[in-house]
């Protein structure tokens, strides 16, 4: 693929672009730095919103819904029902609580590392959802009974014929689906697009 030509000028000529040895201009570097910071702010903002929504809803569920009958939202098709889940998202693998805690912590580390090369808005949203969801469930694992790193996650959204889940699970799933779509479209976190 041919690279677009750049005009090389003198420092005194503002009409021309100045390139470094790699062919990028000072203006390109400044734009990329600003774009990267904005994308990180989007990632952090999405993560904070997802985390706080999950945290607040779980606090309400524990205070108002635990040890109470389920609340019908749409008949018996959708209910709010308090449930403590020692397993992974949607109630799978209850015997592996510590492993899921380690995986959640690993997801957080990976997202933070990817953030350094982040120049794509859709990726910022996807990673923010993953980060907020992972932090939400990790908070339960650390601070809820029966103990540190073995805590049971609070679930409460109960569709008929489906597992009970929470907003953190929803954020993780939505972020994961968005990442799959972006990968199929060939969009990388650094903003580059490649077509096969």
Q: Which residue has the tokens 């952090």?
A: 44
Q: Report the alpha-carbon distance of residue 132 to residue 108 in Å, rounded.
A: 9
Q: Report the alpha-carbon distance of residue 154 to residue 164 in Å, rounded.
A: 10
Quick check: helix, strand or coil at residue 174?
helix
Quick check: helix, strand or coil at residue 92?
coil
Q: Looking at 13, 20, 169, 196, which residue is catalytic?
A: 169
Active site residue 155: yes
DSSP E strands, the chain: 71-74, 78-85, 153-159
Q: Looking at 28, 76, 155, 188, which residue is catalytic?
A: 155
Q: Which residues are catalytic?
A: 155, 169
């Amino acid at each position: 693929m041919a690279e677009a030509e750049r005009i090389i000028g003198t420092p005194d000529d503002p009409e021309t672009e100045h390139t470094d040895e790699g062919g990028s201009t000072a203006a390109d570097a400044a734009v990329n730095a600003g774009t990267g910071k904005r994308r990180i702010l989007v990632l952090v903002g999405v993560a904070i919103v997802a985390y706080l929504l999950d945290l607040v809803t779980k606090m309400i569920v524990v205070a108002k819904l635990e040890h109470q009958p389920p609340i019908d939202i749409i008949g018996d098709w959708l209910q709010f029902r308090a449930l403590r889940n020692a397993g992974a998202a949607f109630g799978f693998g209850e015997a592996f609580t510590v492993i899921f805690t380690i995986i959640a912590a690993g997801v957080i580390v990976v997202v933070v590392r990817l953030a350094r090369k982040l120049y794509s808005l859709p990726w910022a949203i996807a990673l923010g959802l993953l980060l907020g969801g992972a932090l939400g469930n990790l908070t339960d694992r650390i601070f809820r009974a029966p103990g540190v790193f073995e805590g049971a996650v609070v679930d409460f959204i109960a569709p008929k014929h489906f597992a009970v889940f929470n907003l953190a699970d929803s954020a993780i799933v939505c972020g994961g689906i968005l990442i799959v779509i972006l990968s199929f479209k060939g969009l990388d976190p650094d903003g580059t697009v490649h077509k096969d």
